[in-house]
Amino acid sequence: MGGRDATMVLLDENGIRCDGRKVDEPRRIMIKAGGLKNADGSAYIEFGDNKILVGVFGPRDVHPKHMSDTDTGILRVRYHMEPFSVGERKNPAPSRREIEISKVIKEALEPAVMLDKFPRTAVDVFIEVLQADGGTRCAALTAASVALADAGIPMRDMVSAIAAGKVADTVILDVNNEEDQAGQADMPIGYMPNLEQITLLQLDGILTPEEYKKCVEVGVNGCKLVYELQKKALNDKYFGNGGD
Ligand code: CDP
């Protein structure tokens, strides 16, 4: 959370947020399965003004070999932001933040992927953030699940993700960049809707125990909405006219 910007009205007297949304309204979400012909699976997501492309490769041989595991497959995730994805040019070298988000997304996906089905191999997930506007880890995690399914990787469930948060002492769904910077709390949640399990939960900011519970509830409900769009993206590619 950045310091609060006194000039910014995050929630007006009618309960409308700085980008015109209601408190429980997600941004516009568009997910497309497929698109990269050289990847085994791929997905593209627009989550508000976030634009993210994900390519999945594998299961394939592990290099260096000593990283392989005879009992299970391994998942490797690289989250990368293009230098032009944010207002102030980002250094192309991997930042600590990108390394941390890569780890967070990998750990959020692992419970969903049946890694034991392909021992000694690796599945690589490459995430390219083309445009960022708050909530990229959730959008990336959501798209990565679709790309893994598109690659035909055996999965227990997909992980759907969205952030809940708090602005002007009010719990909100789907925190944008301004709300992240000037708001009171940001809680990204990754959830497997069929298994009813949370695989990612982070909290930046301060909440009362009641607000915390509300954020989890609002976030989980938001994940269920995201899940429908993930399934639609896969249905459109494999059973509809949206495939390639
Ligand atoms: O994107 P997410 O909310 O998952 O992660 P964050 O570290 O909380 O970053 C919030 C937002 O800050 C990003 O989505 C970007 O819009 C912005 N950001 C930026 O402007 N410059 C950076 N080098 C990193 C992030």
**pLDDT of the residue at 243:** 47
- Ligand 1, from 105, 177, 187, 202: best to mutate by most atoms within 8 Å of Cβ? 177
Q: With contact defined as beta carbons under 8 Å apart, do 164 and 191 qualify?
A: no
Q: Could you list the residue range(s) of the whole structural domain that residue 84 is in?
A: 16-238
**pLDDT of the residue at 8:** 75
Residue 146 counted as domain residue: yes
Q: Which residues line ligand 1 (CB under 6 A)?
A: 86-87, 90, 97, 132-137, 177, 180
Residue 4 counted as domain residue: no
Cα of 76 from ligand 1 centre, angstroms: 22
Residue 32 counted as domain residue: yes
> What gap in Å lies between CA 193 and CA 22, rounded to an integer?
24
Ligand 1 closest atom vs CA 137? 4
For residue 198, what are the β-bridge partners?
Answer: 191
Residue 163 counted as domain residue: yes
Ligand 1 closest atom vs CA 139? 4
- Ligand 1, from 1, 46, 162, 180: best to mutate by most atoms within 8 Å of Cβ? 180
**pLDDT of the residue at 99:** 98
Ligand 1 closest atom vs CA 132? 16
> What gap in Å lies between CA 89 and CA 66, rounded to an integer?
37
How buried is 77 (Cβ within 10 angstroms: 0-12 exposed, 13-18 middle, 19+ buried)?
Answer: buried
**pLDDT of the residue at 63:** 87
Phi and psi, residue 36, nearest 5°: -105, 110
The H or E element that residue 130 is part of is strand 121-131
Nearest protein CA to atom 16 of ligand 1, as residue: 133
- In sequence order, which residues have a C-beta less than 8 Å from that of residue 237 and are 6 or more positions away? 32, 33, 34, 150, 243, 244
Structural domains in the chain (count):
1
Residue 243 counted as domain residue: no
**pLDDT of the residue at 4:** 46
Nearest protein CA to atom 24 of ligand 1, as residue: 86
Residue 244 counted as domain residue: no
Nearest protein CA to atom 7 of ligand 1, as residue: 97
- In sequence order, which residues have a C-beta less than 8 Å from that of residue 100 and are 6 or more positions away? none
Q: Spell out a b/e string for 180-200, using b for 16 or more CB atoms within 10 Å of the CB, else e.
A: bbbbbbbbbbbbbbeeeebbb
Q: What is the DSSP string of 133-201?
A: SS-HHHHHHHHHHHHHHHTT--BS---EEEEEEEETTEEEES--HHHHHHSSEEEEEEEETTTTEEEEE
CATH number of 169's domain: 3.30.230.70
Q: Residue 117 corresponds to which tokens in the numbers above?
A: 């089905």
Measured in Å, how far apart are the chain's first and last C-alpha atoms? 41
Nearest protein CA to atom 18 of ligand 1, as residue: 86
Q: What is the mean pLDDT of each run of 10 residues along the chain (244 residues)?
A: 63 95 98 98 98 97 90 97 97 96 98 96 98 98 98 98 97 97 96 98 97 98 98 96 52
Residue 133 counted as domain residue: yes
**pLDDT of the residue at 120:** 95
Q: With contact defined as beta carbons under 8 Å apart, do 125 and 109 qualify?
A: yes
Picking from 171, 98, 90, the residue whose alpha carbon sits closest to that of residue 136 is 98
How buried is 220 (Cβ within 10 angstroms: 0-12 exposed, 13-18 middle, 19+ buried)?
Answer: middle
Residue 96 counted as domain residue: yes
